[in-house]
Amino acid sequence: MADEDYNQLPTNKTEGTQKGGGESFVPPSPSGAEIRTLKSDVRSMALSGGSPPSSGSPVYFADQASIHNKNIRESSVPTLSNTGLWKILFVFGIVAVLAAVVYFVYPLIFPSPSPTSSSTDSGGNLPDLPPHLNIPPFVHQSLFRIPADELLVFSTSYSTGLDPNPDEYRNGIRNTVSRASSTSELLEINIAKESGDGHLALTDFLVFSGFSVLDLDFLAENLNPDFTFFVFKDNKDYWPGLVAEFKKGNQWLILKSDINKLEVSDNLDALFLADPGTSNGVFEDVLISGQPVRVLKFGDGSAELIYGWLHGYMVISTSLDGLISAINHL
């Protein structure tokens, strides 16, 4: 048989397949054709005594091992069409866009609720107190540039946040000034805390005496907590008053409209040590040392409530003579 007969290999991909049992087989040849293999030719030569095999039919030669290996390679290599790859990439793109929307857009549409105020925060700290209840410590210093005729001390058990105690205020101040020298006219009185914790703050004094004629937070924010309390003594009675200083940067012209609100207060008689009688209900302008002050008369006119901006201080007095004496010491 000619050599080219061995090269007539099948070219159809269905020629070498594998049965379910794992055995390789060569598919049937076309009608009338004989399939020859190396093994069949050797056997034929042995049976014929060495004569080369021959056949009158068309011959197909296949190496069973080659066919078996080819079938394994073709069945084990996965294939992915272009359409399938684009579908996978498209799905991944959609997922990425949705993730970005959730991450960046959701917090803008549904922001996290802001924490609300409570009695205590997560650290156990107390909430912020109103300014008049959160007075910083201070060391008392007299605002009188020229010392008063006499300096006295009145101690009170009042502390920040307690209710007014006008009876203690009036009785305590009267008992204190009763110890003064008969020749003293202007008395300065330090109102100290019995606890030894310094001088009473301005807002605390106003509450303690019942003379809460202005908003306490407004005073705490705009006036220094330290103040000077005085009593003017004449042949009629004792007339108290006080001197306060604005915090740095504040000016009378800016705060005047807020301070004038005291004129509508119901507690204007609380600063007096005795009942001054009924007020006439009208504040009038009076010039003191060339500066206008506001005056409200009580009773028969001997008792007056006066306030104004004098020598750079806010001064309140229950006597015109007491006001003049006090500003002469500033």
Report, in this order, helix, strand and coil percent for the chain, each rounded to 5: 30, 25, 45
pTM exceeding the 0.75 threshold for the entire prediction? no
Predicted pLDDT at 113: 53
Q: What dihedral do alpha carbons 201, 204, 208, 209 form, nearest 10°?
A: 60
171 vs 83, higher pLDDT: 171
Min mean pLDDT across 15-29, 98-112, 292-306 is at 15-29
What's the DSSP call for residue 5? Answer: G
Min mean pLDDT across 19-28, 34-43, 46-55, 160-169 is at 19-28
The structure tokens listed for 302 are: 């001997």
Q: What is the average pLDDT across 162-183? A: 96
Contacting residues for 141 by C-beta, under 8 A, at least 6 apart: 226
Predicted confidence (pLDDT) at residue 18 exceeds the cutoff of 90? no
Q: Strand 150-156 relative to strand 186-193: parallel, antiparallel, unpaired?
A: parallel
260 vs 20, higher pLDDT: 260
**Gap between the Cα atoms of 110 and 17, Å rounded:** 62
Min mean pLDDT across 48-52, 102-106, 240-244 is at 48-52
The structure tokens listed for 246 are: 């604005």
Min mean pLDDT across 125-134, 135-144, 195-204, 235-244 is at 125-134
- 260-278 burial, b if ≥16 CB within 10 A, otherwise e? eebeeeeebbbbbbeebee
- The number of helix segments (H) and strand segments (E) in the chain equals 9, 12
Q: What is the mean pLDDT of the chain?
A: 80
**Gap between the Cα atoms of 58 and 50, Å rounded:** 22
